Amino acid sequence: MFSPWQLPLPLEEYAMSRVVVYFYNGRWTPIKYCFLEKAIELYYKSLFSSHEVILFPPDLDPNSFSDTA
């Protein structure tokens, strides 16, 4: 998926915030809990391997989203 949105890198004070790295294959699958700094590295590595991962806060479950809004 290509997005025209460009997000700035987070401030250093948030680099040690915990996030969950998810992979989508019909449903969201959590693959790793890590610090935001490491998750950003994983995100960019995944782009080079033609896979896409998405980062979410640990208290947000993307499987609870509804497509029928």
Domain boundaries, the chain: 17-58
Tell me which of 6 and 13 has the higher pLDDT: 13
Straight-line distance from the first to the last Cα atom of the chain, in angstroms, rounded to the nearest whole number: 22
Q: What is the pLDDT of residue 21?
A: 92
| Residue 3, C-beta contacts closer than 8 angstroms, at least 6 positions apart | none
**Average pLDDT in the 29-52 region?**
87
Q: What is the pLDDT of residue 43?
A: 86
Which of the residue ranges 9-18, 27-36, 47-56 has the most confident prediction, judged by mean pLDDT?
A: 27-36
Interval 38-57 mean pLDDT: 85
Rounded CA separation 56/39 (Å): 10
- Average pLDDT estimate for 3-8: 58
Question: Higher pLDDT residue, 44 or 6?
Answer: 44
